[in-house]
Amino acid sequence: MLYSYFLVALGGALGSVFRFGISGFLKPENSWPWPTFVVNILGSVLIGLLVAYLQVSPKSVWRNELLYLGVVGFCGGFTTFSAFSKELFYLLENQSVVLFLLYSIGSLALGVIAFALAYFLVLRLSS
């Protein structure tokens, strides 16, 4: 059990470092947030590759390590958008179109609203 937590922590740290490195390399241009855009797309590709590999290789010796270090840790530290993309894909794959729409639109809308409320709360309290 402790080994799993270690792998998630190590993968998360590496994912965060990679995200930071990409953000330092790419700069926003004409108001387009290139670093976040690139990280989100790369993370989605990576989690797709890892999850597919885990499905086609269920008896892999490194299955748990790849799951905890790569999928949960690295992809989680690199971007949570990758997990969001995977969950949306599974909803579509299961033909849950209504849930797909509710989850995608709800997550985006409520995420922005939650950010705005917290942001303005702090500004209000600090003035």
How many Cβ atoms sit within 10 Å of the Cβ of residue 103?
A: 15
Give per-residue pLDDT as tens, 19-75.
999 988 998 777 788 898 899 999 999 999 999 999 898 888 899 999 999 999 999
Q: Is the dihedral of CA 18, 41, 74, 66 positive or negative?
A: negative
Residue 34 · residue 26 · CB < 8 Å: yes
Q: What percent of the chain has pLDDT over 90?
A: 67
Cα separation, 10 vs 22, whole angstroms: 18
pTM of the model: 0.79
- SS3 track for 25-41: HCCCECCECHHHHHHHH
113: pLDDT strictly greater than 90: yes
**What are the tens digits of pLDDT across the range 76-96?**
999 878 888 989 999 999 999
Backbone angles phi, psi at 38, to 5 degrees: -65, -45
